[in-house]
Amino acid sequence: MHRGGPTYVALTVSELRARLHRKILRSKKLTRLLLPSADRLRLVSQSEFLQSDGTCVVTLLPSASIPAPPALRCIGNPLVQVDVPRDPDHFPPIRVIRMGPADVLSHSNFVKTSRGQLVHHDLFSPTSHKASEEDHQRLHIEPTHLTADLIRPHFLTETLPAAAVFTDAVASNYAHWLTEVLPRIVLYTRHACSKDIPLIVDEGLHKNIYESLSIAVDENRLVYTIPKDCSTRVRHLEVVTPAGYIPYASRAPRRPGHSHGVFSPHALRAVREAFRHLMIRPADSASGSHIYVRRNARQRRLINDQEISHLLADAGFTIVSPEELSFSEQVRLFSQAEFVIGATGAALANLIFCQPGARVHVLMAQHEEMPYWYWQRLSDCVGVSLSYGLGEICAVRDIGFHADFRVALDAIREALGDFHASHEAQHQRSAP
């Protein structure tokens, strides 16, 4: 863990009981006999819970306006087909809600109450959005009746007197962590209401995620980590409402206007401020660096990555593989960059650390379900200039927008020319 960070304590169960539990889960017959399904839970939004059972401790941030979706700027191939999201024009206030006795579920932002409720945040729509837990066979939602069943029983660890929960099904994804989970932690821990309240986060996250947490949270804070398939009962639980959200998937049938993600600009700026000490540009640097962010993943691969890497290296770009860098190194790298090119992927969420006015050119495939406004929303919040380079899908089977793709080298050259032209025009405007 990062030096000077919080104290981490793993929530555990006895090894014997854990082994027995895992053995039972491996057998459907034993699971039915020994771990019967829990009662059906009623789906309740945080606002509904607040009106009946909860208490609003404090409002961390007021409502913030969300810029209207702009015309997406594409260099090279024009955008052929896109579904414009029907998002609200304001992001709701970010509040701290205090609950009575409740169960925190690992790798989930749902909270189970003692009254048979499963509480979800207000931006999640059970009738329109699928939850990640559904695809991973952990939860079954009946959207018509607004009810849910926990498919995989959670093994209960010790009971805590008080804590604030920051577990999430998408916490293991670097982009979702930076834009949805970490902003809530930063806002909460910097407010006086959180004094002496420990945090609960998921166990088994990437070391860079824990590094960001260790930097953002002071050394006097206690952080509990909860293992997979476990739950923890908290007598006095505090929950921070969303600071950003992108639906995991659309519930069938897919409706037009499906959200590509919305974020609180103030929350993302709070994250920038928390890592301001890492974002100092060297005094001897007249201009920022140019970087190409390679994507090493099993899906949405850029097929001609090597060709693009050679082209951009010849143009003076630094070629980086984010998985080889620490969190701090990634923050410094993006904060010093004047021009970033990279294929869509979690590492590009580091654009929130770019200086206002920096250019980020995202390489994506043409697909009607591609969430183009995700990156646009993020860049709008922090003042980054965004453009797209669109390529063609290269796949022998239909896996939607997750398919591999190729971007023509001429389109990359055109993006370079566009950047240099705009940079020269800006230089002339600023000249005396």
Structure confidence at residue 422 as a pLDDT band (50, 70, 90): confident
Question: Position 145: which residue type?
Answer: H
Q: Which top CATH class is 275-430?
A: alpha beta
Structure confidence at residue 27 as a pLDDT band (50, 70, 90): confident
Element (H, E) at 212: helix 207-216
Give, as one character, the DSSP assignment of residue 37.
Answer: P
330 SS3 class: helix
pLDDT tens digit sequence for 103-157:
999 999 999 999 999 999 999 999 999 999 999 889 999 999 999 999 876 788 8
CA of residue 289 relative to chain centroid, distance: 26
pLDDT > 70? residue 242? yes
Q: How far apart are CA 216 and CA 183, in angstroms?
A: 10
- Please give the average per-residue pLDDT across 271-276, as a whole number: 96
The residue among 28 and 377 whose pLDDT is bigger is: 377
- Please give the average per-residue pLDDT across 349-364, as a whole number: 96
Environment class of 238 (CB within 10 Å of its CB; exposed 0-12, middle 13-18, buried 19+): buried
Q: How far apart are CA 294 and CA 378, in angstroms?
A: 20
Structure confidence at residue 3 as a pLDDT band (50, 70, 90): low
- Please give the average per-residue pLDDT across 68-83, as a whole number: 85
pLDDT tens digit sequence for 310-322:
999 999 999 999 9
Contact 412, 312 (CB under 8 A): yes
Of 292, 347, 351, 350, residue with least CA distance to 319: 292
Peptide linkage before 253 cis (omega within 30 of 0): yes
pLDDT at position 37 is 54
Element (H, E) at 118: strand 117-120
pLDDT at position 68 is 77
What's the N-to-C CA distance of the chain in angstroms?
Answer: 50
- Please give the average per-residue pLDDT across 61-77, as a whole number: 88
pLDDT > 50? residue 89? yes
Q: What is the largest CA-CA distance in the chain?
A: 81
Structure confidence at residue 42 as a pLDDT band (50, 70, 90): very high
CA of residue 65 relative to chain centroid, distance: 20
Structure confidence at residue 1 as a pLDDT band (50, 70, 90): very low
- Please give the average per-residue pLDDT across 296-324, as a whole number: 92
> In the chain, which residues fall in CATH 3.40.50?
275-430
pLDDT at position 26 is 73
pLDDT at position 394 is 83
- Please give the average per-residue pLDDT across 171-190, as a whole number: 97
pLDDT > 50? residue 335? yes
Contact 196, 230 (CB under 8 A): no
Burial 165-182 (b: 16+ CB within 10 A, else e): bbbbbbbebbbbbbbbbb
Range with lowest mean pLDDT among 55-69, 185-199, 338-352: 55-69
- Please give the average per-residue pLDDT across 323-327, as a whole number: 95
Cα angle vertex 381, ends 379, 383, to 5°?
60
Contact 360, 354 (CB under 8 A): yes
Contact 38, 153 (CB under 8 A): yes
Both tokens assigned to 313: 């290296």
| φ/ψ of residue 264, rounded to 5 | -85, 115
pLDDT tens digit sequence for 187-221:
999 999 999 999 999 999 999 999 999 999 998 99
pLDDT at position 428 is 64
Peptide linkage before 67 cis (omega within 30 of 0): no
Q: How far apart are CA 234 and CA 129, in angstroms?
A: 28
pLDDT at position 360 is 98
Q: How far apart are CA 84 and CA 9, in angstroms?
A: 44
pLDDT at position 154 is 77
Q: What is the pTM of this model?
A: 0.92
Structure confidence at residue 252 as a pLDDT band (50, 70, 90): confident
Task: Share the mean pLDDT of the chain.
Answer: 89
Q: Return the number of other C-beta atoms located less than 10 Å from residue 351's C-beta.
A: 24
4: left (phi over 0), alpha (psi -120 to 50) or beta: left
